Structure 1
Amino acid sequence: MSNIINAIYNLVTDFENNFNRENHGLNRANQMGEALEEWVKDLFANTLHTQNEQQRLARLSETFSYLGNQNNPPDMILKNGDAIEVKKVIGKDATLALNSSYPKDKLLASSPLLTQECRNCEPNWREKDIIYVVGVVPKNQPLQSLCMVYGVDYAANHMIYERIRHTIVTGIQQIPDVEFTETNELAKVKKIDPLGITDLRVRGMWSIANPFKVFNYLYQRDFERPFNLMCLINLEKYQSFNNTEDIEQLVGQVPDFSIADVMIKNPNNPAQLKPAKLITFKR
């Protein structure tokens, strides 16, 4: 069963920050988001150098229980493991656009934004930890920075966001003389004009600060180097893995790779701190 430790190991021991799957047609600048996502799949599935597409697909099927689409979260789910959401930005501290989906501390099977295929990808699952994988990919350049951080260490409890969303939806629905229809968005207004031929969709456009900016009290990138990795894993999650020795043995063997004990802010109450592992690498 693959996990974030496997991905870190594969990245550090077999480093390559160019997306070179030409058979996917993903080298064009306008497709770098898709290329980053395919590269992340390869990190977790250990298929970075698998050129035979049938073999790669078979390995992806063994690694993931769900591979999503651009319109519904998440991007992928590891079999009996964590969900993964991949975000590409161009600027080094650019804000992450989440569109209609607010930030997630956990992936909940009850979320209306999930597809039925996602809910049924594993028997009776109710919630999963979610990893945000954020890549900084400037135009026409290779990947410069990568961050992996768990939602529980990055975003507040989903009820914080849901309360705001519910308040807005309730307020909109109290507008008199407007015909609403059921929707997963904030609102959908039907038949606005006298002919009844115009509709209005009211959408939420959520965004969240770049994790490199959020956690700058712990880590700063070395922009003199072509690539920087930051990975944050809270201690409870880190200790739940049975393969952490795989990366711990790389400390002192792989240049510029380190694992440090740190204290991070609780997203629900920044006055509280919790222990975590800060894993960094640069080339």
Structure 2
Amino acid sequence: MRMPDDWLQVAPTVPKRYVGLWKRASYVDENYRDETTLRYWLQTPHWHADLGRSADRPAFDGISSLVQCSAMQLDWLCRGQAFAGPTRISGDLCYWDRQWDFQLRDTPDIGRMSFTSDSLIEDGVFGTYREVWLKQAGNAVDEHALQGHRPGDPQILLLATGGYFMYMRERDLRAAPASRARRQCAAGTASRSEQEAFADFDMSFGRYNDAGWVIESSTLPWREGDCIPCDTHGVPDIARMSDGRGSAWRQLEPVSIYDIPATTNRITK
């Protein structure tokens, strides 16, 4: 399949078989094999969210905020893996358009996809790797793609399908200072305040039913186990989910190819 000349001209709509929750079974490249990272990818008809948690996570018992974290805990949090955005499919190629990314990745994330009877295999296009994904839930009718931020505030996003959800709240840092903080964190020269500001990116995964929305895994570990009650519309109470930072939920509209944010990099082949 020929790579599109401009991925942003590919509508962010995926075939039905992609929709649902996927759990990564394995990752293999030329030098590394990983079968222990807990990684989930939630896909709606237009949007994706991806959250990874490595097996070497330190304990966070008794911790309830970034301020309380030790230097070791804070260093681990700054290496978080989470991203979200529209998904674009062209033949067997999948482009995860990372509109929001914990690590601020600036290279295209494109895989060549092949379905088997019980898995989805992703092979690298720009690098040699293979990931195997197993579907946990799919083809549900109760799908949500919502946003809840106030104008000018960090994005708040909720994706849900088949009893599972991903919630995301961006960090307050704008792009330039966040990129600078990332470089300093990687070099080990970031100040404590810079680390805290960079780590303050909330991506949380969990399950929901009529009783509430329960967080099972998060880039902010002290959120795990929280049960957010439903509002009158059956979605999580946004004030509780966002710690008072969100406004009312509203539909997250599919990204138009004619309305690409100015901050989005145009990815070509």
Shared fold per TM-score greater than 0.5: no
The answer to which structure has the higher strand fraction is 2
TM bucket normalised to smaller = under 0.3
- TM-score scaled by length of structure 2: 0.26
The answer to which structure has the higher helix fraction is 1
- TM-score scaled by length of structure 1: 0.25
Tell me: higher relative CO, structure 1 or 2? Use CA pairs within 8 A at least 6 residues apart.
2
